[in-house]
Structure 1
Amino acid sequence: MTDRPLMFFGTTNLDICFNVERLPMPGESLMGALTRHPGGKGANQAVAAARLGLRPHFYTRLGDDDAGQLLLNSLTEAGVRTDAIKVCAGEVSGSALVLVGDDGSNLIVIDPGANSKMTPDMVESATKFIERDAIVVAEMGMPIPALNRLFEIKRDKGFELIFNPAPVRPGLSVAAWKSVDFVTPNQTEAFELTRVEVSDFETAAHAAAKLLDLGPRAALITLGAQGAYYADAKISFALRAFPVKVVDTTAAGDAFNGAFAASMAQRLPLREAVRKALAVAALCVTRRGAQSSMPTAQAVDELLKSQTIVELE
């Protein structure tokens, strides 16, 4: 059976990273090492899927600057289809300042640049690349009116929609929430959406119930080193994460989302799809950078074969 088509909608940024011994306190100056990496939530997710052997389409907006060319090259080299991407004359590509401590923790500030000018009409035009029986992934870094239009189109086209609500912002319509098939927040985002503090699987279950009340068909909450919790109207389960040595948590959520979407496109059973996504996220945090940290299908298969993962009913 062939894979289902896959398309991502989202942001692309040049990550300007400082590796520091620890994250600074307010008003404190620290010495650090500077690196630059291709990033952006949507782009990272698309690359994660491509590294697993998929050929996803991706819609984003880039400036016609050096950063935009670097970002486009990274996507192309990873195997992402870039024919839906708009390179915009006279605009500046998005960028992010990322501080990464030796313990893998990070602080991120984003200048969206060309990403901020996505309009509903632009998104509607890009939906011509959505193929029949497709899975579509969207993240909340996009302008909210553009997201609302994509979710409206979902009701007409009938594709399956995975929504990563990051960063959480107000304005998504009630009807849009009801178009979502899978909503995939992390602990912080789940709290911002539900006001339930997610610290373990028990509290994740409470948050998931409130997320389902918003309208999505299913909720999939990531809990970092603990694992992930899934719930829909019929079933719920929790899977523990793979234990690894954390180097950099940047893009771990993107790795999870891209891998979950890829696994669903590959028609894996739900639990196997979540397990594979956890494996991809685990490997991601063992390397520095965003897209550069996304593992290959071979590396993921080796991890899956070498370790078992505990499911908690």
Structure 2
Amino acid sequence: MTKPDILCIGSVLWDIIGRSTLHMRAGSDVPGHITRLPGGVAMNIAMTLVNFGLTPALLSAVGRDPEGDELVGEADRMGLITEHLYRSEDLPTDAYMAIEGANGLTAAIADAHSLERAGTKILRALEDGPLGSAIAPWDGLVALDGNLTRDLLSNISASPLFARSDLRVAPASPGKADRLLALVGHPSATLYVNLEEAGLLCQTAFDTAPDGARALIARGVHRVLVTDGGNLAAECEGAVLRTAQPPEVLVTRVTGAGDTFMAAHIASEVQGMDAQSALTRALNAAATYVSGGTPS
């Protein structure tokens, strides 16, 4: 068995994305292109990590339906470790649908019900299996996504299975940001959020990423990185605050940008970059992604 560099736990599904070069609003009916690609927060992070030379393993729920078989085949082809996936006989493979215009994301629906219903079954390889156990827990990096239920995130926060893990956590969307409250106070959790999500976690609104980062640390978060689109980004741990400015680029897509930022930051730290350089590289990778390129 190949030992993974990091575990990516969360949504692994199909992204169905409709994109138009025109500005859109509610009710718009415009020409564009529709694509179907492997997606989900955990999957997006894993795919980007592969581009940076790491070997991730996926822990998620994928149906034993044709969509699931095709999705696992795509993941295998990309070099992701899929042998620890929970393959359900009765749960369908999840999906995400989004509409994007020239003015950004217009609307999206995430159907991650199979992941939510699978619950702790996705963690079987960590309980008494090839990736660890309660007496010999996984002692490496773990990327968690907010598509996991609040109860499961709470269990992970207190579980001996993750007592030695370096947890990296991202909300699936602003609508699920409050699920991350379960990990506030965890001694190793690093949160990756945007400015809106930082405000939701603190039940207020912030003008800048540094303001949001400081507030989350005051709330009890171990370490946090806050992005704000093309504006100044911030990282905070204890009393140490770092900032960096993303490069200006032409935005051609937005779905998956935050996952790319998180994966690039993790990879940069694994490869020995100092904190400021890792933050800058992650912002550059996200900018490359939203402009239509492939960061590596």
TM bucket, shorter chain: 0.7 to 0.9
Gaps of 5+ in 2: none
Describe how 1:189-268 pairs up with structure 2 within 5 A: 189-199=197-207, 203-268=208-273
Report what 1:141 is aligned to: 147
- State the shift of 1:28 in Å: 4.0
2:4 and 2:55 in contact (8 A); partners too: no
Structure with larger RCO (C-alpha < 8 A, sep 6+): 1
Aligned to 1:117: 117
Aligned residues: 285
Report the CA distance between 1:43 and its aligned residue: 0.5
**Of 193, 197, 210, which residue of structure 2 is paired with 1:185?**
193
Q: Which residue of 2 aligns with 1:71?
A: 71
1:170 shift after superposition: 4.1
Shift in CA distance, 23/235, structure 1 to aligned 2, threshold 3 Å: same
Distance 2:209 2:215 in 1: 10
Q: Which residue of 2 aligns with 1:302?
A: none
Question: TM-score, normalized by length of structure 2?
Answer: 0.86
The unaligned stretches of length 5 or more in structure 1 are 288-292, 298-313
In 1, are the aligned partners of 2:195 and 2:228 still within 8 Å (CA)? yes
| Aligned-residue offset at 1:77 | 2.3
Shift in alpha-carbon separation, 1:32–1:154, aligned structure 2, 3 A: farther
Query: Hey, what's the Cα distance between the residues in 1 that align with 2:42 and 2:200?
Result: 21
Distance 1:74 1:58 in 2: 13
Residue 185 of structure 1 aligns to a residue whose secondary structure is strand
Tell me the distance in 2 between the aligned counterparts of 1:136 and 1:239. 25
Corresponding residue for 1:165?
Answer: 171
User: Please, which moves more after superposition, 65-74 or 273-282?
Assistant: 65-74
Quote the residue 1:301 is aligned against: none
Offset of residue 238 of structure 1: 0.7
Two-structure CA RMSD over aligned residues (Å) = 2.5
C-alpha displacement of 1:29? 3.2
Q: Matched residues in 2 for 1:120 and 1:214: separation? A: 28
- Residue 172 and residue 26 in structure 1: after superposition, are their counterparts in 2 closer, same or farther (change >3 A)? closer
C-alpha change, 1:88 and 1:4, in structure 2 (3 Å) is closer
Identity of aligned residues (%): 22
Task: Tell me if 1:88 matches 2:95.
Answer: no
Contact kept in structure 2, 1:196 and 1:207, CA below 8 Å: no
Opposite residue 181 of structure 1, the aligned amino acid is A
Larger strand proportion, structure 1 or 2?
A: 2
Determine if contact 1:226/1:240 at 8 Å carries over to the other structure.
yes
